[in-house]
């Protein structure tokens, strides 16, 4: 047998096969992208027919994403001691000392001065848009140092990935965010309120530690399907302001409020101009 010739023929056959496979893959990918684009355009038209505006012009999301196994920072009465000292009472709902109080749960803690609680109590998600973002680097650095000092003194981990500082009158709100590979953890937040230069409020809930156990990889539902399922819930005049993928704990079917660990899954987060927010689980094979 002429082995060199046979080897050459085999190499040529394999090369041609690889070229054909690559061509087929590219064509299938292009067909998929064309279909997805047409589907999105069709859904957008349905929204327009109902009088609902989709503000984002470009909505590109991954085809698959990993879940993340997390465990939460937990709190106990020692955290109350750190914030209020040893002279406080418990009224069945909160720990009170002078003009301050602490509300405690297994995975969340709230500290506030009574005089500022009404302000603090209003400053959750939709109302935050009233604040003006602080961009001055010197001011940002100053607040960052004060926040880190406060957290370190209380024994809280400095496990945040981004800082947002915003201002409203004499109030400054520092928001610490956690994410994984660029995707925000929806339920994890640390908020610290300043009145002038004094910390008057502190809220920390579901602060996470990422497990070394790798999460599972899931295919992601296409955005056109998500928007289509959302359409019946919207009204004429609604405006979709943003669409993003975030991580959220897979706890919607569990009848508990304080989970210490769990699997964070990707969700679509759709926010309306009104501030109303919708979450749609983004994974296919569950």
Confidence of residue 204 (pLDDT cuts 50, 70, 90): very high
Residue 125 counted as domain residue? yes
Residue 277 counted as domain residue? yes
Residues 228 and 194 in one domain: no
What does the block give as tokens for 237? 């005049």
Report yes or no: 157 and 73 within 8 Å, Cβ to Cβ: yes
Residues 223 and 187 in one domain: no
Residues 101 and 175 in one domain: yes
Residues 35 and 128 in one domain: no
Greater confidence, 44 or 258?
44
Residue 154 counted as domain residue? yes
Q: What per-residue confidence (pLDDT) applies to 186?
A: 82
Q: What per-residue confidence (pLDDT) applies to 147?
A: 94
Residues 237 and 156 in one domain: no
CA geometry: angle at 264 spanning 260 and 268, to 5°?
Answer: 140
Residues 83 and 163 in one domain: yes
Digit-coded pLDDT (tens) for 89-131: 999 899 999 999 999 998 899 999 999 998 888 765 455 557 8
Residues 10 and 35 in one domain: yes
pLDDT at 150 over 80: yes
Residue 286 counted as domain residue? no
Q: Decide which of 173, 206, 239 is a domain's last residue.
A: 206
pLDDT at 23 over 70: no
Q: Decide which of 190, 206, 222 is a domain's last residue.
A: 206
| pTM of the model as a whole | 0.73
Residue 227 counted as domain residue? yes
Residues 91 and 194 in one domain: yes
Q: What per-residue confidence (pLDDT) applies to 34?
A: 45
Phi first, then psi, for residue 247 (nearest 5°) are -100, 140
* DSSP SS3 for 144: helix
3-state percent breakdown (helix, strand, coil) of the chain, nearest 5? 35, 35, 30
Let me know how long the chain is: 286
Which residues, at least 6 apart from 234, have a Cβ–Cβ distance to it below 8 Å? 47, 50, 52, 240, 272
Supply the CATH number for residue 226's domain: 2.40.128.690
What Å distances lie between residue 139 and 4, 135, 145, 166, 203, CA to CA? 73, 8, 10, 11, 21
Greater confidence, 250 or 243?
243
Residues 197 and 240 in one domain: no
Q: What per-residue confidence (pLDDT) applies to 250?
A: 60
What Å distances lie between residue 106 and 80, 174, 263, CA to CA? 12, 23, 18
Residues 202 and 219 in one domain: no
CA distance 212 to 93: 36
Residue 195 counted as domain residue? yes
Q: What per-residue confidence (pLDDT) applies to 178?
A: 92
- The range of the structural domain enclosing residue 23 comes to 3-69+211-281
Residues 126 and 171 in one domain: yes
Supply the CATH number for residue 180's domain: 3.30.310
Structural domains counted in the chain = 2
Report yes or no: 201 and 113 within 8 Å, Cβ to Cβ: yes
Residue 103 counted as domain residue? yes
pLDDT at 39 over 90: no
pLDDT at 18 over 90: no
Digit-coded pLDDT (tens) for 55-100: 888 888 888 898 888 888 899 999 999 999 989 999 989 999 999 9
Residue 169's CB is within 10 A of a number of other CB atoms, namely: 10
Q: Using the 8-state DSSP alphabet, how is residue 236 labeled?
A: T
pLDDT at 29 over 70: no
Q: Decide which of 206, 237, 270 is a domain's last residue.
A: 206
Residue 151 counted as domain residue? yes
Report yes or no: 164 and 174 within 8 Å, Cβ to Cβ: yes
């Amino acid at each position: 047998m002429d082995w060199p010739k046979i080897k050459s023929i085999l190499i040529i056959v394999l090369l041609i096969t690889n070229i054909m496979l690559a061509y087929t893959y590219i064509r299938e990918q292009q067909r998929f992208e064309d279909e997805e684009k047409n589907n999105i355009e069709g859904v957008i038209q349905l929204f327009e027919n109902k009088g609902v505006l989709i503000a984002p012009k470009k909505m590109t999301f991954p085809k698959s994403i990993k879940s993340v196994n997390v465990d939460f920072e937990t709190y106990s009465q020692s955290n109350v001691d750190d914030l209020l000292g040893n002279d406080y009472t418990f009224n069945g709902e909160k720990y009170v000392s002078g003009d301050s109080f602490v509300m405690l749960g297994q995975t969340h803690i709230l500290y506030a001065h009574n005089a500022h609680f009404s302000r603090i109590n209003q400053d959750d998600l939709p109302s935050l848009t009233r604040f003006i973002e602080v961009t001055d680097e010197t001011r940002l650095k100053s607040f960052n140092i004060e926040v880190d000092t406060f957290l370190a003194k209380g024994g809280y981990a400095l496990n945040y990935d981004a800082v947002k500082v915003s201002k409203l009158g004499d109030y400054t709100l520092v928001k610490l965010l956690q994410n994984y590979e660029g995707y925000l953890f929806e339920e994890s937040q640390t908020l610290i309120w300043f009145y002038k230069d004094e910390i008057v409020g502190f809220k920390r809930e579901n602060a996470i530690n990422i497990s070394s156990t790798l999460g599972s990889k899931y295919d992601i539902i296409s955005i056109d399907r998500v928007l289509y399922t959302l359409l019946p819930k919207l009204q004429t005049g609604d405006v979709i302001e943003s669409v993003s993928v975030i991580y959220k704990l897979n706890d919607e079917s569990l009848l508990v409020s304080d989970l210490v660990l769990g699997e964070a899954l990707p969700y679509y987060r759709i926010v309306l101009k009104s501030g109303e927010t919708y979450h749609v689980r983004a994974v296919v094979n569950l």
